[in-house]
Amino acid sequence: MQQNDFIEASPLGKESAYVNEYSPQLLFPIPRNKPWHPKFSKRPFYGIDVWNAFEVSWLNKKGLPQMALAEFRIPADSPNIVESKSFKLYLNSFNQSTMANIAHVQQHMTEDLTAAAGAPVQVTLFNLCEKAMTVLPTPGVNIDEQDIEISTYTPDARLLMVDSSAYRTEILHSHLLKSNCPVTGQPDWATLVVEYEGPSIDQAGLLAYIVSYRDHGDFHEQCVEQIFLDIKAQCKPGQLTVYARYLRRGGLDINPYRSTRPLAPSNHRTERQ
């Protein structure tokens, strides 16, 4: 199946009926290993996609609306991602549904998302009074103040450079990552964090490379994977982690994490989220 076929089947960019009663069939899975993306004989990273939902609601047995925040962790090696509009429509379907308690809602979501992703999905619901998803400063050195001229707005890995004479362990970040939805063309804004150990990465080149995604259309997960693969190939770090914190749309944000190390990321929101 080609990219246009997936786009045609997806609810993105189309009028969708608002369903406010529990409907797991609204979830639309998309294979991660799509024909138009690079294939791996062995996946060269560990990773997870952390989704946060800020508009989760249902009715208790007396008809009183309940509210929660939700965190979803989808493994990066799951067969499928879940298309974001379908995810939002699915969450909306709880709005007028009666649920016994918050644990019941969490159980439904765990089962439904695991079935859609094709791998175990971890779901955590938080009461609004809990201190969940706190905001912390973005880690590392901000590279956005480089005095550079930029004319490339489609991904170009040749912009990435290193100083082989210097070896560093450092964290760099930029608030200037922007890509576009491959279906609607709407902009997706993110803060990108790059943590590495290896030859010193040229900050001006890294910034130019990040900005080169500005006119690029792809899903969040694939953008982060391509950034990881390009830095790994061009800069040859011994250790590498690439983590993007995208801004929310429709009450959902997506935060893909890819790393050479099998570690689970924290879920602290950035200043922009």
Beta bridge partners of 67: 57
Q: How far is CA 141 from the centre of its chain?
A: 22
CB atoms within 10 A of CB 86: 20
Running DSSP on this structure, what letter comes out for residue 157? G
- d(CA 221, CA 82) in angstroms, rounded, equals 11
Strand partners, 195: 171, 241
Pairwise CA distance, residues 176 & 262, whole Å:
27
Unique residue bearing structure tokens 């912390």 = 136
Active-site residue identified among 49, 188, 218, 230: 188
Q: Catalytic: which of 49, 181, 202, 218? A: 181
One DSSP character per residue, 147-187 reads: -------S--GGG--EEEEEEEEEEEEEEEEEEE-TTT--E
Q: Is 188 a catalytic residue?
A: yes
| 181 is an active site residue | yes
Phi-psi category of 102—alpha, beta or left, where left has phi over 0 and alpha has psi -120 to 50? alpha
Phi-psi label, residue 108: left if phi above 0, alpha if psi -120 to 50, beta otherwise: alpha
> What is the biggest distance separating any 2 CA atoms in the chain, rounded to whole angstroms?
68
Tell me, rounded to whole angstroms, the distance of Cα 132 from its chain centroid: 18
Catalytically active residues are: 181, 188
